[in-house]
Amino acid sequence: NKRIKIKALLEDDHLGQSVTVMGWVRTKRSNKNVSFIAINDGSTIKNFQVVADPNQISEDILKKASTGACLKVQGQIVASQGSGQSSELVAQNIEILGEADPDTYPLQPKKHSLEFLREIAHLRIRTNTFGAVFRVRHALAFAVHKYFNDKGFFYIHTPIITASDAEGAGETFKVTTLDLKNPPKTEDGKIDFKADFFERETNLTVSGQLEGELAAMGLGEIYTFGPTFRAENSNTARHLAEFWMIEPEMAFYDAEDNQNLAEEFLKYVISYALENCKDDLDFLDKRAAEEEVSKPADQRNELGLLDRLKFVAENEFQRLTYTEAIEILKNSNQNKKKKFQYLVEKWGVDLQSEHERYLVEKHFKKPVILTDYPKEIKAFYMRQNEDGKTVAAMDILFPGIGEIVGGSQREERLELLVNRMKEMHIPTEEMWWYLDTRRFGATPHAGFGLGFERLVQFVTGMGNIRDVIAFPRTPGHAEF
């Protein structure tokens, strides 16, 4: 009489069998003749109905089998009388594994707000919404590895602690073993990082790209999939201080190969979720539809969640350059109200998320691959174009999300790279190891970074990035 998961119970015919099911009580309905207890064990969004006869199961046990309690139920699978589910479990014995006091258990069967659930991130995983989100997140992570593995890419683990700030954005978390209340000092009174564990200043990685490039120069095609850390001060719905990034890096790829890979990859993982997460996505689709109603009319999605996913999986992304995008924004209706005015006045400024979303959601109504950005607003390692003004960058913009991917063809020409680094005040001596890949056997190569949580947001339809990672790290929040 082994434990069986609810997912397996629902998939095959177990009529007449004696089984043991364990799970948490979601709801209980009782009258004096019978109790119906819906339990969930996390294997699927669906609950399984336990039928308990008060002549068989003691009053005390039935009382303790309240919402949130954990049960071990042993009994027989029979055909269900009611609608909804074809079979149910008639309990011969119920053991209470863990009680949950109805007066203090926070997750009573009613609709809780996402804000409230964020305060109890340690318990919210037990709700339908978060169960669905984390099962979909798992499926997407698996699909990422499957896609790259099937294409012959190698998974590389890049370091979490580094001495470089790849983006030069200065949003790093410092790592030190020094006692900062009483640090060792150099003769001129500064903190002596020579006395630190690594004998230098270090920080948590903001991107695995630079190390990824080194690996691609030996293995050809690689990807990383690891945590990255940015001390973002912005409290937005799409930034976390700790997020997971997928970063493929490929020797012998040019900018167009890079765009093709990114588009194929995104379509693959979205299709994978559509095929493998049907029950969870059906639930999230209904949930998203309910949320739509509470949004202002001009912010509502034209398509429901499932239709959005299918649309992205099946249709070509729009490709255009930054300069073309600026023209569209200039001539847009929005700009009649001078909303996008500052873009018109000066070519070369970065797009804000309102511009990105206008292009994707109002103008093209599909994902957009924006290429060839002004070099001033992009990182030093991007390959310079012939025009001397732009670099071979690409950002992929998604409806409801904005930027989901940032990538580029990398600058493989030593002299041009060194000059660009000097212009941007990046110390070339310290980066000798990076420049060695341009000194010895340099080749055209390219890559991109996909923020995994933004992908999970898109696929689950969750509006806030805090709701697609189990334990979000944001300003002021690191308790659990």
DSSP state of 434: H
**With CB under 6 A as the contact rule, which of the stretches 77-85, 210-218, 261-269, 402-410 interacts with ligand ATP?**
402-410
Nearer to Mg ion by C-beta: 212 or 406?
406
| CA nearest to 434, candidates 170, 161, 215 | 215
- Site mask, ligand ATP, residues 163-182, x = CB under 6 A? ----x---------------
Quick check: 240 binds ligand ATP (CB under 6 A)? yes
3-state secondary structure of 446: strand
Among the listed residues 165, 192, 285, 403, the single contact to ligand ATP using CB under 6 A = 403
Among the listed residues 64, 135, 239, 438, the single contact to ligand ATP using CB under 6 A = 239
State the Cα–Cα distance between residues 155 and 248, nearest whole angstrom.
9
Q: Taking CB within 5 to 8 Å according to partner kind, which of Mg ion, ligand ATP, none is near residue 454?
A: ligand ATP
State the Cα–Cα distance between residues 100 and 103, nearest whole angstrom.
9
Nearer to ligand ATP by C-beta: 165 or 232?
232
| Per-position b or e across 6-41, b if 16+ CB within 10 A of its CB | beebbeeebeeeebebbbbbbebeeeeeebebbbbb
Quick check: 451 binds ligand ATP (CB under 6 A)? yes
Binding interface with Mg ion (CB under 5 A): 403, 406
Among the listed residues 99, 192, 196, 232, the single contact to ligand ATP using CB under 6 A = 232
Q: Taking CB within 5 to 8 Å according to partner kind, which of Mg ion, ligand ATP, none is near residue 243?
A: ligand ATP
Assign 3-class secondary structure to 217-262: HHHCEEEEEEEEECCCCCCCCCCCCEEEEEEEEEECCCHHHHHHHH
Question: Is the CB of residue 289 less than 8 Å from the CB of residue 307?
Answer: no
User: What residues contact residue 144 under an 8 Å CB cut-off, 6+ apart?
Assistant: 223, 225, 246, 269, 452
Quick check: 466 binds ligand ATP (CB under 6 A)? no
Question: Least separation, in Å, of the C-beta of 227 and ligand ATP?
Answer: 11
**With CB under 6 A as the contact rule, which of the stretches 185-193, 326-334, 413-421, 447-455 interacts with ligand ATP?**
447-455
Quick check: 456 binds ligand ATP (CB under 6 A)? no
Question: Least separation, in Å, of the C-beta of 381 and ligand ATP?
Answer: 12
231 class by beta-carbon count within 10 Å (0-12 exposed, 13-18 middle, 19+ buried): middle
At residue 41's C-alpha, the angle toward residues 36 and 44, to 5°, is 100
Among the listed residues 26, 230, 375, 410, the single contact to ligand ATP using CB under 6 A = 230
Nearer to ligand ATP by C-beta: 124 or 355?
355
Q: Taking CB within 5 to 8 Å according to partner kind, which of Mg ion, ligand ATP, none is near residue 453?
A: ligand ATP
Quick check: 322 binds ligand ATP (CB under 6 A)? no
Place of tokens 């990035």: 465
**Site residues for ligand ATP per CB under 6 A:** 167, 230, 232, 239-240, 243, 245, 403-406, 449-451, 453-454
